[in-house]
Amino acid sequence: MSQRPVPPRGMRDLLPSEVVLRRHLLGRIVEVYERYGFLQIETPLLEEIDRLLGSEGGENEKLIYKVLRRGIETWPPATEGEAVDLGLRYDLTVPLARYFASHSADLPVPFKALQTGPVFRAERPQKGRYRQFTQCDIDVLGDASAMAEIELVCATSEALAACGLDGITVRMNHRGVLDGMVSAAGYDADRKAAVLITIDKIDKIGLDGVRTELRALGDPGPADRLADMLAASIEAEGSAATLAALPATVDEVAVADLETIRVAVREALPWVEVAFDASLVRGMGYYTGPIFELAHDESSGSLGGGGRYDRMVGKLSGQDVPAVGMSIGFERLCHVLEGRARDWDRRDRIVFLHDAMAPAGEVVRQANALRGGGAVVRREVAVKNRRGQLARAAAAGCSHWAEYRAGEEPVVQALDEENEEGTR
């Protein structure tokens, strides 16, 4: 017996019920974002490889799927540059920066962009983490004020609530705060990247593990000072107390921006928990200001995040443009919601049965009459085992059934009703 064919590792086929859920959630997210004034755009799956590799995407740059040039005459090529010219996008931020640099003359400023679509990373697959997955991004380009961050956090929180997910916690930090803490601890600029990578592991290895890894980088003095700062911020109760626990050398403007964002979001959406987290790093090297992560008790990983990246567009256009964005981790959102009651599509889903010899035109007319009322209608030839046929229809997502009768309009009945016709 031949082995059952499956998709490439880390990629998935989606069953009809899964597509229904994803389409519903995506629709609710886009609906909220459009109410906030975001404009939907589309960008290609492929970008120039040099652009992807030069975007300061951190570890994700090591996970790019690279595409061979067409028309390579000699093999193997002397260099990778001769072999590769394109790559699959690993997020939607780099394509957006290129898009804005290309079309800025035709776009309003500030430009509020909305993107949804697949991205690709050649990483080790695990539950909730795939090599192909969907992102839902909103970005504001051309606005340097904290209002951009406030709108992003509010819109994303409302989008998740519209999907049926409450209890969101927005964790936030600022690259200026992180830089100030690293400097105050005594680290020089050359070691900052390694230090931030270590801090970013705190959720996995804990504060003691971070302290141990920081000590392994060199002098234990800076390692202990930085670990103590993180401990003080973790022990402080509430965002204000956590910010007060920071060293005096931390950028005051950065601290003020975070407090402005926290207060404004809580005033606008009192049900959203906003908390400062001094250990939050996020791996993208292009972040320049506030950074965010969305946490929920039902998800072991973050449900999304983002931050400010003021220098990325300037690398492409030669003119710096302030920019900030947020992304929803759509796959994890689906995992959290897929086990809940299936009430996301409230349309009647009818299996319409007919005899094999029934007039085709009349069958279609009666089925279309049901569709005209807004129902989803699945037509099937009736079989002798009516009970089994209706059970399979219910398993396929049907909620009702009806039957063709010559000269009569179909009568729609619930599949779970006990009736003689349905159990014959």
Q: Does the pLDDT value for residue 79 go beyond 90?
A: no
Lowest mean pLDDT among 31-35, 47-51, 231-235: 231-235
Instruction: Provide the number of structural domains found in the chain.
Output: 2
Q: Which one is predicted more confidently, 407 or 10?
A: 10
367 and 329 together in one domain = no
Last residue of a domain, one of 337, 359, 374: 337
Are 21 and 151 members of one domain?
yes
Mean pLDDT of the chain: 86
Residue 98 predicted with pLDDT over 80: yes
Instruction: Give the percent of the chain with pLDDT over 70.
Output: 91
Same domain, 411 and 273: no
- Is residue 164 situated within a structural domain? yes
| Mean pLDDT confidence for 147-163 | 95
Same domain, 266 and 371: no
User: What is the pLDDT at residue 103?
Assistant: 94
- Residue 284 belongs to some domain of the structure: yes
Do 314 and 210 fall into the same domain?
yes
Q: In whole angstroms, what separates CA 422 from the centre of its chain?
A: 43
Is 153 in the same domain as 238? yes
Give the domain extent around 249: 16-43+90-337
**322 and 355 housed in the same domain:** no
Gap between the Cα atoms of 113 and 151, Å rounded: 13
> Is residue 87 very low, low, confident or very high in pLDDT (cuts 50, 70, 90)?
very high
Q: Sign (positive/negative) of CA torsion 212, 213, 219, 221? A: negative
Residue 24 lies in a domain: yes
More confident residue, 248 or 41: 41
Is residue 270, in this structure, part of any structural domain at all? yes
Rounded average pLDDT over 29-56: 93
Is 267 part of any domain? yes
With 70 as the cut, is the pLDDT of residue 186 above it?
A: yes
Q: Mind listing the pLDDT tens digit for each residue in 243-260? A: 666 777 777 888 889 989
- Angle value at C-alpha 64, between 59 and 69, nearest 5 degrees: 150
Smallest CA-to-CA distance from 169 within 85, 31, 289, 262 is with 262
Using 50, 70 and 90 to split pLDDT, how confident is the model at 340?
low
Specify whether the CB–CB gap between 179 and 287 falls below 8 A: no
Distance CA 130, CA 147 (A): 33
Contacts of residue 141, defined as CB under 8 A and 6 or more positions apart, other chains included, come to: 96, 100, 109, 110, 111, 113, 313, 321, 322, 323
**pLDDT the model gives residue 237:** 56
CA dist., res. 165 & res. 156, Å (int):
11
CA distances from 108 to 39, 85, 147, 180, 315 (A): 10, 32, 17, 35, 20
Give yes or no: residues 29 and 153 share one domain: yes
The stretch 19-44 carries a mean pLDDT of 94
